[in-house]
Amino acid sequence: MLDIKFVRENPEIVKQNIKNKFQDNKLGLVDEVIDLDAEARATKQEADTLRADRNKISKQIGGLMAQGKKEEAEEMKVKVNAESQRLAELETKEAELEEKIKKIMMTIPNIIDPSVPIGKDDSENVEVKRYGEPVVPDFEIPYHAEIMDKFNGLDLDSARKVAGNGFYYLMGDIARLHSAVISYARDFMIERGFTYCIPPYMIRSDVVTGVMSFAEMDAMMYKIEGEDLYLIGTSEHSMIGKFIDTILPEETLPQTLTSYSPCFRKEKGAHGLEERGVYRIHQFEKQEMIVVCNPKESPKWFDVLWQNTVDLFRSLDIPVRTLECCSGDLADLKVKSVDVEAWSPRQKKYFEVGSCSNLGDAQARRLKIRVVGEEGKYFAHTLNNTVVAPPRMLIAFLENNLNADGSVNIPKALQPYMGGKTVIK
């Protein structure tokens, strides 16, 4: 969420940013919120004047009563009552205007970084760099669900009976591999200096609206009926929410946390063949990383975060590439984002396995995450990135470590988490 003062003083910059994100339907909101802000400030000024006048008259009434001038005091009371009625009207109007302004401000997109390429959607994202040599073996690689089935490791039919489409049972070595990847990712991040955390798996509505846009909220979140609680779509939400309405001493920054959680997502809409199996699902587990830092340091931490994911995948013999997200592919709160994509030998292309985002002070402004330092108080910057999110990550793992005989190699880094196994058959 932008600062209303910035919008008021830089309307053309805000409008151009909206155009860069191809959201022209929001252009009218800029002038509308500026007009509402002017009305709100005028209302507040009148209310403040009345409050000051009322206090002044109240003192005068006390003086008149002390002097025995009851008639004059009563006349002054009539004036106070009239002003009190007007003040009540103004206070109601103030609250209504503030709510309207807040609603619009939460809809106007954040200012994107100048380095972000301009494009309408993810088809115009820009490849940055490849890591590892993408290999296509001389034998046919089955669809990931078939690979798992051969290990008796996937049961979609039973899950469909129990919970519906978009759920799964992982079994045996595939289930163990899933847990091994999560455990390895946890220790990988701890070794890089991040504090391990297991957060709440449900969050209140004020946290939801603090960390994401209304459009994302509607598309992703499951609401708990009868409760002001939502199931998290990613642990980033509850991790950033941990700092809601706090003032952090500058010397405690950066806050670097890595968290494990299950994640729950609606995943609305029909999907193609490549998104069946365990690619796009309603429930999965994830290791996440977040940073709360000084605004001057957020570009540095952005690079650290996506590099962590690249390094983890390369340690498991999976080729990856980084992709700079274009303006039209950025969610409204994001300043800059890089996707990490893993190589699929079966599809002979890369697919997304993680996304790294710098949100500037958007989440901090909504959640009131402030920092106090030598230069006074300011809003922190927040960043997040996926460390690893199986089962989707398992697709890349199985395809890149599959042998012609159907066995799967276990990279050295993961072997301690698989009981010393070097291969599963």
**What CATH number was assigned to the domain covering residues 4-105?**
1.10.287.40
The domain locations on the chain are 4-105, 122-424
Where does 202-272 have alpha helices with state H? 205-211, 214-220, 235-241
What are the two backbone dihedrals, phi and then psi, of residue 3, each rounded to the nearest 5 degrees? -75, 130
Strand partners, 130: 321
Query: Domain 122-424: which topology?
Result: BirA Bifunctional Protein; domain 2 (3.30.930)
**pLDDT score for 270:** 46
Calpha distance 147→159 (Å, rounded): 18
Give the pLDDT band (50/70/90) at residue 204: very high
Please give the single-letter amino acid code of residue 307.
Q
Quick one: tokens of 140? 């046919």
Calpha distance 170→165 (Å, rounded): 15
Among the listed ranges 12-26, 274-288, 345-359, 375-389, which one has the minimum average pLDDT value? 274-288
The per-residue pLDDT for range 126-166, each reduced to its tens digit, is 999 999 999 999 999 999 999 999 999 999 999 999 999 88
Per the CB < 8 A criterion, the answer to whether 98 and 320 are in contact is no
The per-residue pLDDT for range 376-415, each reduced to its tens digit, is 999 999 999 999 999 889 999 999 999 999 999 999 999 9
